[in-house]
């Protein structure tokens, strides 16, 4: 069949016949997911060109060795934390011709690695890894195959860039704020022990307490996992054990939301009875009742910066490395200790 026959345009099946492969193989090659012999791949590309089949972005990109897609690995697609960062990624991609493929690692190192392998099999041009559990060594291993930009890490090689906020300083700011208000019995709800962000925030809390000459009561450091139910459970455990405290600092906003609910259910007023501080400054934290004091991470800016860095690694223009520092945002959930 000739491509000049406009009444019968070339089909994917025609290309498959001309190349001597199955139609599904053609489709998979065009989607960048096939692992086929190089001679078959060349035969398909030759048939596409000869028959002028699918003269679109995918076909042009395939011949150039690019799919014009980037892979993004998040940990929880439903989390507003990642939603705000993805908004920055999306805005940075506007006008570039690139589209994104988003997958979730579910805070599991093995699953993260599997998802990255899946993206590599799809021939994405680069990968953005938003936090996660895999080691820096594993990130660098994957970066040998495609450029990677990762948040929550300090990396800098020819094919990998990391962006890291100062979690320790942010937690110090939050704890210092509570100490300045006269609080001494300050609860810290941790994040997961396997998270470097969580451990750095715990270190910031401990440093501020030590600088103020305050010993940390082990009962006041309560395990959490960055999700609302863990904040709820942490405060409930403290109340059940009659542990005395006047302030709660949660390792992230979601945990603080859970803590707030636990206090509300027990008739404990915020901030009159207990002050509350979170970490992240998620969009919803401005609209809690009362609006929540928290440490602001530049989540949107981080998404934009990570994307621009990846585009730079993929041969685009140089990027501005600057990301705004963390800062304490004082709202209405903290007041002087009574």
Which among 296, 314, 333 is the end of a domain?
A: 296
Q: Average pLDDT for residues 103-119, to the nearest whole number? A: 91
Q: Are residues 211 and 236 in the same domain?
A: yes
Whole-number Å distance between alpha carbons of 202 and 174: 11
Share of the chain above pLDDT 70, in %: 88
Mean pLDDT of the chain: 88
Total of domains in the chain:
3
Q: Are residues 32 and 130 in the same domain?
A: no
- Cβ(58)–Cβ(67) below 8 Å: yes
pLDDT value, residue 3: 41
Q: Are residues 288 and 305 in the same domain?
A: no
Q: Are residues 210 and 134 in the same domain?
A: no
Q: Are residues 197 and 307 in the same domain?
A: no
Q: Are residues 171 and 158 in the same domain?
A: no
How distant, in Å, are the alpha carbons of 184, 257, 262, 287 from that of 268? 18, 14, 9, 19
Domain interval for residue 70: 66-165+299-323
- 240 contacts: CB under 8 Å, gap ≥ 6: none
Q: Are residues 178 and 259 in the same domain?
A: yes
Q: pTM score, two decimals?
A: 0.77
Q: In b/e form, how buried is each residue of 273-308, taking b as 16+ CB within 10 angstroms?
A: ebbbbbbbbbeebeebeeebbbbbbbbbbbbbbbbb
Q: Average pLDDT for residues 112-116, to the nearest whole number? A: 94
Of 26-35, 107-116, 167-176, 197-206, the range with the lowest mean pLDDT is 26-35
Whole-number Å distance between alpha carbons of 28 and 24: 6
Q: Is residue 34 part of a domain?
A: yes
Q: Average pLDDT for residues 271-282, to the nearest whole number? A: 97
- Cβ(76)–Cβ(82) below 8 Å: yes
Q: Are residues 303 and 160 in the same domain?
A: yes
Give the ranges where the chain is alpha helix by DSSP (H): 12-19, 23-30, 38-50, 57-63, 80-93, 109-121, 136-143, 167-180, 196-211, 228-240, 253-265, 299-313
Q: Average pLDDT for residues 212-216, to the nearest whole number? A: 96
Q: Average pLDDT for residues 90-112, to the nearest whole number? A: 90
Share of the chain above pLDDT 90, in %: 63
Q: Is residue 122 part of a domain?
A: yes
pLDDT of 4 > 50? The answer is no
Q: Is residue 185 part of a domain?
A: yes
pLDDT value, residue 6: 44
pLDDT of 56 > 60? The answer is no
Q: Are residues 154 and 172 in the same domain?
A: no
Label residue 73 left, alpha or beta by phi (over 0 means left) and psi (-120 to 50 means alpha): beta
Q: Is residue 336 part of a domain?
A: no
Q: Report residue 254: phi and psi, to 5°.
A: -60, -40
Q: Are residues 72 and 138 in the same domain?
A: yes
For 302-320, write each residue's pLDDT tens digit.
999 999 999 999 987 666 6
Q: Are residues 292 and 173 in the same domain?
A: yes
Whole-number Å distance between alpha carbons of 174 and 178: 7
Of 66-70, 166-170, 226-230, 258-262, the range with the lowest mean pLDDT is 66-70
Count CB-CB contacts under 10 A for residue 66: 18
Of 4-13, 78-87, 90-99, 173-182, the range with the lowest mean pLDDT is 4-13
Of 63-67, 207-211, 264-268, the range with the lowest mean pLDDT is 63-67
Q: Is residue 7 part of a domain?
A: no
- Cβ(275)–Cβ(246) below 8 Å: yes
Q: Is residue 337 part of a domain?
A: no
**pLDDT-based confidence at residue 1 (cuts at 50, 70, 90):** very low
For 20-40, write each residue's pLDDT tens digit.
887 777 766 765 555 677 788
pLDDT value, residue 5: 43
Q: Is residue 131 part of a domain?
A: yes
Q: Are residues 116 and 180 in the same domain?
A: no
Whole-number Å distance between alpha carbons of 311 and 125: 9
pLDDT value, residue 171: 98
Q: Is residue 329 part of a domain?
A: no
Q: Which helix (H) or strand (E) holds 127?
A: strand 126-129
């Amino acid at each position: 069949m000739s491509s000049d026959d406009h009444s019968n345009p070339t089909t994917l099946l025609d290309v498959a016949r001309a190349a001597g492969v199955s139609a599904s193989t053609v489709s998979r090659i065009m989607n960048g997911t096939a692992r086929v012999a190089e001679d078959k791949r060349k035969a398909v590309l030759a048939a596409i060109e000869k028959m002028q089949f699918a003269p679109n972005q995918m076909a042009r990109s395939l011949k150039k060795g690019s799919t014009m897609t980037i892979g993004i690995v998040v940990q929880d697609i439903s989390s507003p934390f990642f939603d705000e960062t993805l908004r920055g990624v999306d805005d940075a991609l506007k006008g570039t011709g690139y589209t994104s493929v988003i997958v979730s690692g579910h805070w599991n190192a093995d699953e993260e690695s599997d998802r990255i392998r899946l993206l590599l099999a799809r021939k994405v041009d680069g990968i953005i890894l938003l936090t996660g559990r895999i080691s820096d060594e594993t990130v660098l291993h994957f970066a040998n195959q495609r450029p990677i930009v990762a948040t929550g890490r300090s990396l800098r090689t020819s094919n990998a860039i990391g962006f890291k906020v100062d979690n320790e300083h942010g937690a110090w700011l939050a704890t210092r704020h509570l100490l300045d208000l006269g609080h001494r019995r300050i609860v810290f709800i941790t994040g997961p022990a396997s998270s470097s962000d969580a451990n750095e925030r715990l270190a910031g809390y401990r440093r501020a307490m030590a600088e103020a000459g305050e010993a940390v009561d082990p009962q006041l450091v309560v395990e959490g996992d960055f999700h609302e139910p863990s904040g709820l459970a942490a405060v409930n455990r403290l109340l059940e054990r009659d542990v005395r405290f006047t302030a709660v600092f949660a390792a992230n906003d979601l945990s603080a939301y859970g803590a707030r609910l636990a206090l509300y259910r027990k008739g404990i007023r915020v901030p009159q009875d207990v002050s509350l501080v979170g970490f992240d400054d998620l969009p919803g934290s401005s609209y809690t009742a009362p609006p929540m004091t928290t440490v602001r991470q530049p989540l949107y800016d981080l998404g934009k910066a990570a994307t621009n860095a990846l585009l730079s690694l993929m041969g685009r223009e140089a990027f501005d490395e600057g990301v705004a520092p963390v800062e304490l945002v004082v709202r209405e959930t903290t007041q002087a200790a009574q």
